[in-house]
Amino acid sequence: MLDNLVLGFSTALSFENLLWCFVGVLVGTVIGVLPGLGSTTGVAVLLPLTLSLEPVTGLIMLAGIYYGSQYGGTITSVLISTPGEASSVVTTLDGYQMARQGRAGAALSIAAIGSFVAAIISLALLVALAPPFAEFALDFGPPEMLAVMVLGLATIVSFAGDNRRLGLLMALVGLLIATVGVDPGSGTSRFTFGSIYLLSGIPFVEVMIGLFAVGEVLYQIRQGAAAPIRAGFRELMISRADLRRSGGPILRGSFLGFVFGILPGAGSTLASFMAYGIEKRVSKRGKEFGTGAIEGVAAPEAANNAAANANFVPTLTLGIPGGATTAVLLGAFMIYGIQPGPLLFDEQPDLVWGLLASFFIGNVILLFLNLPLAPVFAQLLRVPYGYMYPLILLTSLVGAYSITNGMYSVWVVLVFGVIGYFMKRLDLPMAPLVLGLVLGPLFEKALVQTSAIGDGNLLVVFTRPLALVVLAIAVLQLAAPSIMARLLRRRATTRSRRSDPADSTPEGSTRG
């Protein structure tokens, strides 16, 4: 084990590899900032650029792009409420509110720190326990995934804001949107009305750009220009109290993210939503969530970063991609002439361990790059919104176009921009809709598969112990929150009275 690590670091620390790791992280961050370009597109589009490099170096650069672009997405989530991918949607809930209170610097810093800690924890787990975890992931067949999806949908309770019925309604709307297109079981085209564009469903990234970026712009225009957010130097920096508050959420988020990240499919999105939900329950400041609580940024950011790393468990040990981006990375392996699969660790030790070591180095670079830059990025908010929103609209629309190279994407963005505007006006919570939209196809696929495996009998779920455990957790989450919350809050209030005088944040938006 130690030999392997030494081998890995000696590979990754060569000048050339360090340089390209840095370039990858930097370019990735820029890609992530552009709306419409998430880590998957970033890696796919820049893949040809790496072909002239050595395979290890190329992969190191691509991995740098992978987590660089995730952090880039966090920057826009916090500053202009535009998540780069589904897994950073949750970050907008509190991150954007923090930014509006002049605390964007702290939000970006805690995201960088949380991501870093999560990366280190998940890398340690990955190095030490990848094979058994991979076996564990294989035990998750369709019935188990169905149970996980039920658990995921149960977290909607945490995102419904004050009115659970509205949260449920929005989640249902998300699920309904997700059913558009060719169904997974029989190949029937549903709700397509003869349009070829709708065959593959309503595209998710475009919906997000519309709801979040364009919707927020329209809403801000109606709200009127505010004085630019002026924050003192002290507020730009992350405070010691912030760090103390975020420790627990980051640790919990990291482990949660790792476990969900191993599961193929919606790993990191689900992980970030679950982490937020759990913190909201557990935290003594549960009420503040959605109004700019730093825990609401720390936990999901840690979770989605841990999940991104955990995605490499099945990718490297089994040769099965853990997510969309790792699927593209597997394609890159093939282009380099490396056969991904179970033998990779034995046949290409310098490559695998070099890659793993570069994850560590890349995350260090990311931290050192972004901690000083966080206050600088936060300064962007000093630009009056009236100057900024034409630029947001411009990049959103070009970004949307670049997803499919077609105007259809642009129209989807505009339509959902208007929908997003009205949702904000009427206080309809957006996070449940996104969750429904993400989980909908996975839920339905698991349902169809389970029904096929059980030969038409869905009750087969109850014969699988692992699925039963997951379902039990879901039931607990639905049934017991009030009890749990009451217990925890009673304990918390007595403590917080003493420790935290800066607790008097004014009541904020109830969105989310």
- Applying the rule CB under 8 A, the residues between 41 and 60 that interact with another protein are 41, 43-48, 52-54
Q: CB of residue 124 vs another protein: minimum separation in angstroms?
A: 25
Q: In the block, which residue shows the tokens 């977290």? A: 155
Q: Segment contacting another protein (CB under 8 A): 217-225, 353-361, 482-490, 491-499?
A: 217-225
Instruction: Give the H/E segment covering residue 181.
Output: strand 181-182
Q: CB of residue 67 vs another protein: minimum separation in angstroms?
A: 18
Q: Tokens in use for 18? A: 């360090």
Name which of residues 11 to 30 contact another protein (CB under 8 A).
30
Q: Which of 6, 128, 221, 472 binds another protein (CB under 8 A)?
A: 221
Q: CB of residue 248 vs another protein: minimum separation in angstroms?
A: 26
Among 63, 114, 84, CA closest to 362: 63
Q: Is 34 in the site for another protein (CB under 8 A)?
A: yes
Toward another protein, which CB reaches closer, 113 or 150? 150
Helix axes 481-499, 465-479, angle to 10 degrees: 60
Q: CB of residue 319 vs another protein: minimum separation in angstroms?
A: 4
Name which of residues 358 to 387 contact another protein (CB under 8 A).
386-387
What type of residue is 122? S
Q: CB of residue 367 vs another protein: minimum separation in angstroms?
A: 25
Instruction: Give the H/E segment covering residue 189.
Output: strand 189-190
Tell me how far apart the alpha carbons of residues 414 and 109 are, in angstroms, rounded to a whole number: 32
Name which of residues 296 to 315 contact another protein (CB under 8 A).
314
Q: Is 232 in the site for another protein (CB under 8 A)?
A: no
Q: Which of 65, 111, 125, 137 binds another protein (CB under 8 A)?
A: 137
Tell me how far apart the alpha carbons of residues 130 and 21 are, in angstroms, rounded to a whole number: 23
Tell me how far apart the alpha carbons of residues 9 and 32 are, in angstroms, rounded to a whole number: 27
Q: Which of 260, 273, 360, 408 binds another protein (CB under 8 A)?
A: 408
Q: Is 402 in the site for another protein (CB under 8 A)?
A: yes
Q: Is 162 in the site for another protein (CB under 8 A)?
A: yes
Q: Tokens in use for 404? A: 């499919």
Tell me how far apart the alpha carbons of residues 429 and 163 are, in angstroms, rounded to a whole number: 9
Q: Tokens in use for 47? A: 């893949």
Among 177, 174, 148, CA closest to 160: 174
Q: Per 3-state DSSP, what percentage of the chain is helix, strand, and coil (rounded to 5)?
A: 75, 0, 25
Tell me how far apart the alpha carbons of residues 426 and 215 are, in angstroms, rounded to a whole number: 13
Whether the CB-CB separation of 296 and 276 falls below 8 Å is answered with yes
Name which of residues 443 to 472 contact another protein (CB under 8 A).
443-445, 447-449, 451-453, 455-458
What type of residue is 234? R
Whether the CB-CB separation of 345 and 352 falls below 8 Å is answered with yes
Q: CB of residue 13 vs another protein: minimum separation in angstroms?
A: 19
Helix runs in 263-384, H state only: 267-282, 295-310, 312-317, 324-335, 344-347, 349-379
Whether the CB-CB separation of 150 and 474 falls below 8 Å is answered with yes
Q: Which of 391, 480, 483, 487 binds another protein (CB under 8 A)?
A: 391
Q: Segment contacting another protein (CB under 8 A): 71-79, 189-197, 361-369, 491-499?
A: 189-197
| Residues binding another protein: number (CB under 8 A) | 131
What type of residue is 133? F
Name which of residues 319 to 348 contact another protein (CB under 8 A).
319-321, 327-328, 330-331, 334-335, 337, 339-344
Toward another protein, which CB reaches closer, 194 or 501? 194
Q: CB of residue 63 vs another protein: minimum separation in angstroms?
A: 15
Q: Is 349 in the site for another protein (CB under 8 A)?
A: no
Q: CB of residue 385 vs another protein: minimum separation in angstroms?
A: 9
Q: Segment contacting another protein (CB under 8 A): 59-67, 234-242, 368-376, 399-407?
A: 399-407
Instruction: Give the H/E segment covering residue 474.
Output: helix 465-479
Q: Which of 405, 459, 482, 502 binds another protein (CB under 8 A)?
A: 405
Q: Which of 4, 14, 184, 247 binds another protein (CB under 8 A)?
A: 184
Q: Is 111 in the site for another protein (CB under 8 A)?
A: no
Among 294, 212, 198, CA closest to 253: 294
Q: Which of 132, 372, 406, 465 binds another protein (CB under 8 A)?
A: 406
Toward another protein, which CB reaches closer, 46 or 241? 46
Whether the CB-CB separation of 192 and 180 falls below 8 Å is answered with yes
Q: CB of residue 444 vs another protein: minimum separation in angstroms?
A: 5
Q: CB of residue 19 vs another protein: minimum separation in angstroms?
A: 14
Q: Which of 404, 484, 488, 500 binds another protein (CB under 8 A)?
A: 404
Tell me how far apart the alpha carbons of residues 437 and 210 are, in angstroms, rounded to a whole number: 14
